[in-house]
Structure 1
Amino acid sequence: MVLEQSKQNVDSKAWMKPFFFIFGGQVFSLLGSSVVQFSLIWWLTEKTGSAAVLTAAMLVGFLPEVVLGPFVGALVDRWNRRRVMILADSLVAVVTVVLIVLVWGGQLTMWPIFAALFLRSLGGVFHFTAMQASISLMVPENELSRVAGINQALRGVVNIVGPLLAAFLMGVLPFWGVLAVDVVTAFLAVLPLLIVAIPSPQSTGAVQSVKSVLADVREGLRYVRQWNGLFLLLVMATLLNFLFMPAFALMPLLVTEHFQGGALQLGWMESMFGAGIVIGGLALGAWGGFKRRIYTTMLGLMGMALGLGLVWGAPAQTLGMALAGMLLTGINMPIVNGPLFAIVQARVEPAMQGRVFSLMASISGAAVPLSMVIAGPTAELIGVRVWFLVAAAGCVLLGIGGALTPAIINLENEQQPRVQTEAAPNVVG
């Protein structure tokens, strides 16, 4: 099967059944991962009570995406993507089984959990990159924004349901039983991948050496850098992460210091944000966005700015105003992100998508630890609320700046850089 034939196949409604069969399995996988992630962090919280340990656990989870992400993308572009997803889900399940055995033997300690968090994150990076890079080969181009919206909505649902389900299961099951949920959901994710074929693009073949992988990474960096619109879009995403994440990391302090609230009020704030993501994702799935997708993203940035501004401007006695702001921010999150994924899937060469997606995640994700280091001392000097104002202003500036930048506005029509790879037979999943 050649790539042209694959593209023809996704132009009819026939694409929907196999795609959503696979997609449904991945939702189960995400839910199981959310349950286990919450459970492991809570175990560390109960056993250590250390902020340093929890911070270290967060950084361990970030490392594969930020440090190894570009190399993962290069490998995904060479390997069969369906097999990558099967192996990634299987790796996560095997790691969980090891943890279950340690729990049975009474030997579970902090260090195996750190190792598990690292390996689970690594499997997640492989899986996310392979899945995102495969969507353009399975979904018609005019449906990409809708699919991205549905994806965002379901991830929002998982973010809401996962922790609640984990808390419930931890109350009725032994710890090993909670972990076993992940093994079951991993099986449900792998099963559709064993049945449905996923087309792969023209590939450069098997990995010959470390040098060849490094060459692929350099080629990915060169590809992004030579495409002005895509490069500027990556810069925008990095800046947005840098401004946005500290505000949310400091939200517990906003609730306790400004609104004089507690865990319940913080839970409401986070739940409203999660509910907003679901609403926004479903709205994008139904609407599909503007014909020129980048305009949808710019509109979403303005909506996020308004939501963050409401949180910043809410008086101490008006938590409801902040809740409305969190809901509005959540609604616009998929409106911003969904079209960006669709643009990359529609415009980037299939043989480069693994590297491009991993580079976007790695570089924009690297801004998060840096912003966290800056956010704490800054909040001590000028207060927590100011970060929400900074994030709101940043969204406005990025939205206006993007709308006035021809390379970004014309990204979907701009000539792509040439992919300099050797021709090789296509690989069918």
Structure 2
Amino acid sequence: MKTNVWRSEKWMLPFFIIWGGQVLSWVGSRVAMFALIWWLTDKTGSATVLASATLAAMLPQIVLGPIAGVYVDRWNRRLVMIAADGLIALVSLWLAILFWTGEIQVWHVYVIMVVRELGGMFHWPAMQSSTSLMVPKEHLARVAGLNQAINGALSIVGPALGALVLAVGEIHHAMLMDVITAVLAITPLLFVFIPQPERAQRDAETKPSVWTDLREGASYVFHWRGLMILTGMALVFKIALTPAFSLLPLLVKSHFDGEAPQLAGMQAAFGIGIILGGLLLGIWGGFKPRILTTIASITAIGFLLIILGGLPPAFFMAAVAVMFVSGAAVALCDGPLFAALQSTIAPEIQGRVFMIFISLVNLTGPIGLAIAGPVTDWAGIQLWYIVAGVLCAAMGIAGFFIPAVVNFEDNRPASVSPLPMPAASD
């Protein structure tokens, strides 16, 4: 693969031009999502509504994510990102009009979340796999740490701007801000070159079907024993953690008797933690092997959730502190894992592998939401945080004693071959 030019100092300018545009888009998306979630919370006050809204956003990725990965590997990734950002801008504009005219209904928000997720499930693997081609392998962990730090900053800026927009303006202004930032993200993609992976020689000769490409990606994942065990652990982690974060607005409102500023404060503390955790990862790089940093962070997140669930209503500032430390743990959890995947998986198959992994992990998110909504409406929201913490802590501790997980980077598949299933045509 002829990508030596991207293995010098020349990689920085084109990468960070594109990356900067994406950061602006993330700001708009955070503002819009904060406004939408708070609107649902204020209008319904129901854990079931919040859980089902998150579920609606997750379903497209679970069902269609692996197929999206196939097309990301086939198509020009720059054009994929342009189309995805454009779709998000259009649906946000539609939602702004609905809010402005007073025609908005709860189901409209559900539809918007689904469509935004459809765009995101193409955009995310395209950006991740492009990063592995534009950034030298030795710098991938640092870029991952920088991404975590920026996500932390956006966790502060997004809720703060969202609360400000709701305080001095209307919710349709938040939607319009999302439209503007999406356009700003598209602009550099129109001019900056992104290297594309070369398809295998047999692909040029035989032009495999979508089903064959999907089988190849699945084979790569299922024959990587360490990744499969790690995926199983992530399934349990996801079923416990998804409701804990989705129902945070209700924890603030019903347990701590807070409002939008208090929710923004907790999310800001979480974001500051992510910033510091990401910066630490960028400087330190994590344990060797890198997965040990991820496992230790999962364990820490579990104990922090137990503490959060056990705090009495008067200890709101303690909850803010817990969210701060949790943010640092999340940064140290995600960054090393995806840096390891980017540096070990061949670029021409990364779209499929990333989306198969993410889809499998997200498969259990709806299960957690389906259980958590009615349970918290009936038994109280704190119970879920305690149960989720116990599950995460136990899973993290177990990970230290599984050699296939600890050494998973060294045991990856040497090649890609389809699973023995009957082929299907497009």
Matching residue's letter, 2:399: G
Counterpart of 1:360? 357
Distance 2:58 2:66 in 1: 14
Matched-pair contact (CA < 8 Å) for 1:149–1:281: yes
Matched positions, count: 414
Q: 1:19 aligns with which of 15, 18, 29?
A: 15
Matching residue's letter, 1:243: A
Counterpart of 2:120? 124
Aligned pair 1:31/2:27, yes or no?
Answer: yes
| TM-superposed deviation, 1:252 | 5.4
Q: Secondary structure at the match of 2:415?
A: coil
| TM-superposed deviation, 1:279 | 1.8
Segments of structure 1 that go 5 or more residues without pairing to the other structure are 422-429
| TM-superposed deviation, 1:286 | 2.3
Q: 2:65 aligns with which of 52, 63, 69?
A: 69
Counterpart of 1:192? 188
**Within 5 Å, which residues of 2 pair with 1:312-331?**
312-314=309-311, 317-331=314-328
Identity of aligned residues (%): 45
TM-score by length of 1: 0.85
Matching residue's letter, 1:129: P
Matched-pair contact (CA < 8 Å) for 2:60–2:114: yes
**Within 5 Å, which residues of 2 pair with 1:23-422?**
23-41=19-37, 54-100=50-96, 112-173=108-169, 176-203=172-199, 212-251=209-248, 261-263=257-259, 265-314=262-311, 317-376=314-373, 378-379=375-376, 384-420=381-417
Matched-pair contact (CA < 8 Å) for 1:227–1:417: no
Matched-pair contact (CA < 8 Å) for 2:72–2:122: yes
Distance 1:88 1:383 in 2: 39
Q: Deviations over 1:82-110 (max 9, x none)?
A: 11111111121233344455667776555
Q: Secondary structure at the match of 2:390?
A: helix
Bigger drift between 247-256 and 161-170 goes to 247-256
| TM-superposed deviation, 1:185 | 1.1
Distance 2:308 2:43 in 1: 34
Q: For residues 144 and 261 of structure 1, do their structure 2 counterparts lie closer, same or farther at Cα, with a shift above 3 Å needed?
A: same
Q: For residues 245 and 112 of structure 1, do their structure 2 counterparts lie closer, same or farther at Cα, with a shift above 3 Å needed?
A: closer
| TM-superposed deviation, 1:173 | 4.7
Segments of structure 2 that go 5 or more residues without pairing to the other structure are 419-426
Matching residue's letter, 1:28: L
Bigger drift between 218-227 and 305-314 goes to 305-314
Q: Deviations over 1:8-45 (max 9, x none)?
A: 23332222221111111101111112223334455566
Q: Deviations over 1:256-298 (max 9, x none)?
A: 676x543365554333223212221222122222342112212
Q: Secondary structure at the match of 1:221?
A: helix
Q: For residues 56 and 404 of structure 1, do their structure 2 counterparts lie closer, same or farther at Cα, with a shift above 3 Å needed?
A: closer
Q: Secondary structure at the match of 1:224?
A: helix
| TM-superposed deviation, 1:137 | 0.8
Matching residue's letter, 2:71: L
| TM-superposed deviation, 1:380 | 7.0
| TM-superposed deviation, 1:324 | 2.5
Matching residue's letter, 1:180: L
Bigger drift between 109-118 and 143-152 goes to 109-118
Bigger drift between 223-232 and 90-99 goes to 90-99
Matched-pair contact (CA < 8 Å) for 1:300–1:333: yes
Matched-pair contact (CA < 8 Å) for 1:308–1:391: yes
Bigger drift between 124-133 and 187-196 goes to 187-196
Q: For residues 53 and 15 of structure 1, do their structure 2 counterparts lie closer, same or farther at Cα, with a shift above 3 Å needed?
A: same
Matching residue's letter, 1:219: E
Matching residue's letter, 1:94: L
Q: Deviations over 1:362-384 (max 9, x none)?
A: 12112122112223455578764
Matched-pair contact (CA < 8 Å) for 2:160–2:264: no
| TM-superposed deviation, 1:61 | 1.6
Matching residue's letter, 2:234: A
| TM-superposed deviation, 1:131 | 0.6
Distance 1:313 1:348 in 2: 41
Counterpart of 2:422? none
Matching residue's letter, 1:308: L
Counterpart of 1:426? none
Matched-pair contact (CA < 8 Å) for 1:348–1:416: no
| TM-superposed deviation, 1:174 | 5.6
Distance 1:392 1:45 in 2: 24
Q: Secondary structure at the match of 2:294?
A: helix
Q: For residues 386 and 115 of structure 1, do their structure 2 counterparts lie closer, same or farther at Cα, with a shift above 3 Å needed?
A: closer
| TM-superposed deviation, 1:253 | 5.9
| TM-superposed deviation, 1:128 | 0.7
Distance 2:314 2:171 in 1: 41
| TM-superposed deviation, 1:360 | 2.1
Q: Deviations over 1:183-230 (max 9, x none)?
A: 321221112212221112123679x99x92233223222211111011
Counterpart of 2:423? none
